[in-house]
Structure 1
Amino acid sequence: MEHIKIGDEAPDFDLPGDGGTRVSLSAHRGKIVVLFFYPKDDTSGCTVEAIDFTALKPDFDAAGAVLVGLSPDGVKSHDKFKKKHALAVDLASDEDKTTLERYGVWVEKSMYGRKYMGVERTTLLIDRDGRIARIWNKVKVPGHAAEVLAAANDIG
């Protein structure tokens, strides 16, 4: 597992996306990218987070920022999730968890004393040169999308 830091070049990826698309970081070079890693489609926190980012999408667009959500769920799950909640963010599928591991967000978690592997909810703000400008670890969802938008406007 790599530990990425502010100032590092964000590792590129090319993953299957919702709607039969491909999602890659290099395709967005020259734009600000908000890359949010989330544990699972259609669970309470993940749904609120994706809806909050969707609600602010016009503001992210105005800041020149692209929104990409990434989880280990498959494309069919992403398609269902996106349609059910009218999401306006790109969703990338990392079923083999290679990208999640490269970014250091596939971690051992613990709930009720049981240990398991899962995604640590993390958001990265990647600048126009492909470098990591901000990192939010162990994200708490309420107010998060607005905080990320403010940071995107700062580097705009």
Structure 2
Amino acid sequence: MRRYQIISEVLVMLLSGMFLYTAISKLLDFEKTRLALENQVFPLWMAEGLLYGLPIFEFGAVVLLLIPKFRYIGFWFSLVLMTSFTGYILAVMMGVFDRVPCSCGGVIDSLSWGEHLVFNVVFWGFAGVGVMLSGDRCRMSGVASAPSR
């Protein structure tokens, strides 16, 4: 069980670090983030919502992951976020939209769409493994936060 706890803690740090970095980079370069979101393929009203909502969701994921009592929910929330982001990238790469928008900000800005997809799939996998490990740990300890399978 100790090995699973270590793996879970590493996954928490990786996911928290990534979400913290992306949230802070959006806030530090708020105007660039606004312009990037307005250049996406969705309506401007949605871009405005995402401008404020994404950092809140990303910070929320960090908080849920870092508080052991809410870690299982944090891994699930991370999985949902990464599924959404990855689905969007797949849609762009498959030509679902009439144009290819610009990419994300920060270090991720330098990634191609294919590299960004790999990055997201890796972090999606981290979140999925975290769900499995924290769910098993909750069942073993009798904690009610994870549903029984």
- Does TM, scored on the shorter chain, surpass 0.5? no
Q: Which has the larger radius of gyration?
A: 2
With CA pairs under 8 Å and 6+ residues apart, which has the higher RCO, 1 or 2?
Answer: 1
TM-score after normalising by structure 1: 0.31
Larger proportion of strand: 1
Larger proportion of helix: 2
